[in-house]
Structure 1
Amino acid sequence: MAHTVNFFLRPEPGVLLGIWHTVPSCRGEDAKGKCRCWYEAALHDGNPIIVYLHGSAQHRAAPHRIKLAEVLSDGGFHVLSVDYRGFGDSTGTPTEEGLTTDAICVYEWTKARSGRTPVCLWGHSLGTGVATNAARALEAKGCPVDAIVLEAPFTNMWVASINYPLLKIYKKLPGCLRTLMDALKEDKIVYPNDQNVKFLSSPLLILHGEDDRTVPLECGEQLYEIARNAYRNKDRVKMVVFPPGFHHNLLCKSPLLLRSVRDFLSQQWA
């Protein structure tokens, strides 16, 4: 990608996270030929920052993720695209606790360099669980995230697993759901978005496609209702539903996406 630098962060011993920093396209000419130090200093130039946490398949170089970074860059955002431990060129073994640690590390590293520039955690699919886990932990530390965007979120991993298209055919088999639930519990895989949002105060924007077959729209709607009921300030929670045609991964192709995100964040950060 143009105007992008690759670097690594170490959230804990033995783990290196691969990260792409894409600057706003308006700074593209300035970025030509610059080293990582220049990119790092650019984080406090006043352009808002998004830490992007991707879904469970592939890595940050997946075409739809590159497209999203380009759209956000053209919209005036810095984008830090993260590969969790065990994904892409990042080392380590993925666990729910580990992925949460990775997200917190990148967010705190970014905040330490952003000055007064706000930083948004953006999670897609599995990344929504990582984002709310990290946001809840940061809230508990007295450092609420500046904003959260959840793209195609589920309520929790248990519900997401049952609804996953390939698993639906097993729903009627005796004991299948119990076996799946026990496996998730044994591996401590929960990603409880539905519980996490009850403890958050950060501005929260939910984006969901009407024809999402991987995580059905009803999951996003349920999460929105849970969050809105829990938040004291209802104006801090918003949901945008996208018309058919964008499915689970392609909201980045809708002109509604950038407009919705910019309008929400500018209102919340005014």
Structure 2
Amino acid sequence: MYRSLSQSCLRNKYHLLTNSGLIYNNRLVLSNIIHEISLVFGLSLFLFYLFYQLFGNFVLILFIICGILSSLYGLQDMLLFQPNEPDTARTIVQTPDLFHMEYEIVTIETADKEKLHGYLLTQMQRTNECATLVFFHGNAGNIGHRLHNAHLLYQACNINILLFDYRGYGKSTGTPSETGLYIDAQAVYDYIRTRTDLNQEKIFIFGRSLGGAVALHLASHLAETEATPPLYCVIVENTFTSIPGMAKRLFQVFILDYIPSCYYKNMFSSITKIRHIKVPVLFLSGEQDELVPPQMMQKLHEECTSSKKQLIVFSDGQHNTTWLSRNYATQINKFLVECSTLSEPISSSTGFN
């Protein structure tokens, strides 16, 4: 009963955080869109009149179409990446001291000379025998906002955890972009492979929402290059098939069906990359996800070609709070144990209330 009340309190807390803007939400996206479109609309009206007087209808229509597409292309990074939510996210990053975990502060330099800030949480005993999780977070906030989640996994699964902020997030340098996040992922992976004090046979990656797309890109790249040793496994939670797919889901405007992919500045096409991954993959899906349709997680699971894959659906899980669902950490721990015995089958799909 105490555990149930505790989880209920935590869930209410994170719903409150979501509603107050500490975690990415639909209202924030809508507000940004309305603000930016109003500016574009005002400028467009002026240019509309100017071009109509100078060139006539045909050139005017062509200009408007190109202008709208160019404006939307330029707005995509702002709508997708939210490093300044909440507004203290670039200045205040809580430390693992809050949960009394052993850790060290790490700075990881990328191939293009950006510096990524992170925490390496290590178990107090037998650190070099434990599995190590590399945590790819979502599109808003910083690693300090993920410490409660990390603490849950740290305790329940007895693992080491590397938390880091992408470029332009938290105390990391740079500006976020799709290519930049991929470079960050590779740099973090290369760093963790240099740590001789960690069990290199049990390095695995976890990604939530946007972080799932980054994790799947890294896993796909490692599979294609036949990197050794291979990843222990991949775990993704409430992530999407692609950005064009999400755009159609969020805005539900028929014209999006006809926009060529070249007009999308960010693709994050996980649906194509999932087909290259051969290591075990665990899909965690919140059935009440209000942002990413659970059908996208089902589609990723279906397209995955790994011989060991599992989809777990949490009936009460929402986009940012699935990790508070009953048996969440237990199921992850169970999957990790199964991965250590490759001869044992992993079931393909499971649902939880």
Query: What TM-score, normalized by structure 1, do the two folds share?
Result: 0.82
| Counterpart Cα distance in 2 of 1:71 and 1:9 | 25
Q: Does the C-alpha gap of structure 1 residues 145 and 117 become closer, same or farther in structure 2, counting only changes over 3 Å?
A: closer
Count residues in correspondence.
237
Do structure 1's residue 8 and structure 2's residue 92 form an aligned pair?
no
Compare the two structures and name the one with the higher strand fraction: 1
Do structure 1's residue 130 and structure 2's residue 229 form an aligned pair?
no
Q: Does the C-alpha gap of structure 1 residues 101 and 13 become closer, same or farther in structure 2, counting only changes over 3 Å?
A: closer
Do structure 1's residue 249 and structure 2's residue 320 form an aligned pair?
yes
Match of 2:144 among 43, 61, 74: 61
Match of 2:234 among 137, 148, 162: 148
Kindly provide the amino acid, as one letter, of the partner of residue 202 in structure 1.
V
Match of 1:74 among 155, 158, 166: 155
Unaligned runs of 5+ in 2: 1-95, 342-353
Do structure 1's residue 19 and structure 2's residue 118 form an aligned pair?
yes
Do structure 1's residue 191 and structure 2's residue 284 form an aligned pair?
no
Larger radius of gyration: 2
| Counterpart Cα distance in 1 of 2:153 and 2:222 | 25
| Counterpart Cα distance in 1 of 2:260 and 2:330 | 39
Match of 1:51 among 134, 159, 178: 134
- In structure 2, the residue corresponding to 1:108 is in which secondary structure? helix
| Counterpart Cα distance in 2 of 1:85 and 1:116 | 25
**Cα distance per residue 1:92-116 (max 9 Å; x no partner):** 1212121112112212221232244
Aligned to 1:107: 189
**Alpha-carbon deviation of 1:181?**
5.1
Q: Is the 8 A contact 1:210 1:217 kept in 2?
A: yes
**Alpha-carbon deviation of 1:177?**
5.3
**Alpha-carbon deviation of 1:84?**
0.7
Kindly provide the amino acid, as one letter, of the partner of residue 215 in structure 2.
A
**Alpha-carbon deviation of 1:180?**
8.8
**Alpha-carbon deviation of 1:151?**
0.5
**Alpha-carbon deviation of 1:243?**
1.5
**Alpha-carbon deviation of 1:13?**
3.9
Q: Which moved more, 1:91-100 or 1:122-131?
A: 91-100
Q: Between the two proteins, what is the percent identity of the paired residues?
A: 24
| Counterpart Cα distance in 2 of 1:152 and 1:84 | 19
Q: Is the 8 A contact 2:280 2:339 kept in 1?
A: yes
- Report the RMSD for the aligned CA atoms in angstroms: 1.9
Kindly provide the amino acid, as one letter, of the partner of residue 102 in structure 1.
D
**Cα distance per residue 1:158-202 (max 9 Å; x no partner):** 1122223xx34xx25xx4555595541xx2x11111111111111
Unaligned runs of 5+ in 1: 31-41
**Cα distance per residue 1:39-69 (max 9 Å; x no partner):** xxx75x211111000111121122xx22210
Do structure 1's residue 163 and structure 2's residue 249 form an aligned pair?
yes
| Counterpart Cα distance in 1 of 2:188 and 2:111 | 12
The correspondence of residues 226-265 of structure 1 with structure 2, limited to 5 A, is 226-227=303-304, 230-231=305-306, 233=307, 236-244=308-316, 246-265=317-336
Kindly provide the amino acid, as one letter, of the partner of residue 263 in structure 1.
K
| Counterpart Cα distance in 2 of 1:108 and 1:51 | 11
Aligned to 2:61: none
Q: Is the 8 A contact 1:224 1:237 kept in 2?
A: yes
**Alpha-carbon deviation of 1:120?**
1.0
Q: Is the 8 A contact 1:49 1:117 kept in 2?
A: no
Aligned to 1:34: none
Q: Is the 8 A contact 1:8 1:17 kept in 2?
A: yes
Kindly provide the amino acid, as one letter, of the partner of residue 146 in structure 1.
Y
Aligned to 1:119: 203
- In structure 1, the residue corresponding to 2:116 is in which secondary structure? strand
**Cα distance per residue 1:233-261 (max 9 Å; x no partner):** 2xx110100022x3111122123211111
Aligned to 1:266: 337
**Alpha-carbon deviation of 1:20?**
1.2
Do structure 1's residue 210 and structure 2's residue 287 form an aligned pair?
yes
Do structure 1's residue 224 and structure 2's residue 301 form an aligned pair?
yes
Q: Is the 8 A contact 2:232 2:339 kept in 1?
A: no
Q: Which has the higher contact order (CA 8 A, sep 6+)?
A: 1
Kindly provide the amino acid, as one letter, of the partner of residue 69 in structure 1.
A
Compare the two structures and name the one with the higher helix fraction: 2
